Amino acid sequence: MSVSLYCYLEVKDKKGKWHLVKTFGNKKFDDSPKDENEQEVSVGGEEYRTTNEWSPGLAWRDELYHGVYHGEFGTKGLPGDISPELFELIEGERLSALENWKKSKEEGKIWGSESWYEQENYHGRYAYAILKDMFAICEEKEKEWRKTTIDRIKKLREDGITKKLDWIIEKLSNPEKKQKAINEEKEEGDYEETLNYYLDEWLWEVISLYRETWMLKDLAEAYTGDDWFDSKNVRVIYHTY
């Protein structure tokens, strides 16, 4: 089953109070039905619809998936100083989900337990992290990629030289013995295949992680109107589904 990562953003003002980050999309460019948590506003004759929740992408989904359930990153549950607006929104989702579960039970379509929708359990599926710490993870991943790539290239080069030296030594020691020639084409193919993995696939994972993190920072900056808003004052509240 495919798993997606969803998150809310909060930003902290100079008084230490957290606020839910929202964006507004022009309804003319959005044919999707209105979500129950969305609100509609009119600005200058234009109709807009709020967006509160985002799905950053696959990179952070893979990085945080186990963290949500095993506490490997961030903090489990909702923060104690969560913004009233976001708390009300999540509570609305919980009560709506509970109501749907009860209807399913009445119809004989039971899945799960009612205890899952108790506030403590429902809120427990969330975790949160400071955006600055997420950037730190990006930097760690980049450093790991750089070191591993350089070490691997050195090892490949050394292995190639060692094989050739061993071949020469064996030839000099046993000139009458017929030796199998080194397969230069295979050596080159293995070298390129290894480099392609480190320079393409693994590097792209690092780039994707950075890109998704910067996307979240851009959303916070757009909401606050501050192009230099510090990532230590941005909180990501997330869950997987």
Mean pLDDT of 209-233: 95
Rounded distance, CA 7 to CA 238, Å?
A: 4
Could you tell me which of 241, 223, 238 has the C-alpha nearest to residue 90? 238
Which pLDDT does position 233 carry in this prediction?
Answer: 98
Establish if 99 belongs to a structural domain.
no
Q: Radius of gyration (Cα) for the chain, nearest Å?
A: 27
Establish if 53 belongs to a structural domain.
yes
CB 33, CB 60: distance < 8 Å? no
Establish if 101 belongs to a structural domain.
no
Q: Note the pLDDT tens digit of each residue in 140-182.
A: 989 998 888 888 878 777 676 556 555 555 655 676 666 665 5
Number of neighbours of residue 62 by Cβ within 10 angstroms: 14
Establish if 123 belongs to a structural domain.
no
* pTM confidence score: 0.79
Mean pLDDT of 85-102: 91
72-95 burial, b if ≥16 CB within 10 A, otherwise e?
A: eebbebbbeebbeebeebbeeebe
Give the chain's mean pLDDT: 81
Establish if 67 belongs to a structural domain.
yes
Query: For the chain, how many structural domains are there in total?
Result: 1
Which pLDDT does position 1 carry in this prediction?
Answer: 47
Rounded distance, CA 167 to CA 223, Å?
A: 65
Could you tell me which of 223, 210, 160, 202 has the C-alpha nearest to residue 24? 223
Higher-confidence residue of 34 and 97: namely 97
Q: Which helix (H) or strand (E) holds 67?
A: helix 58-70
Establish if 178 belongs to a structural domain.
yes
Establish if 88 belongs to a structural domain.
no
Domain that holds residue 73: 5-81+128-240
Which pLDDT does position 106 carry in this prediction?
Answer: 81
Which pLDDT does position 84 carry in this prediction?
Answer: 94
Establish if 156 belongs to a structural domain.
yes
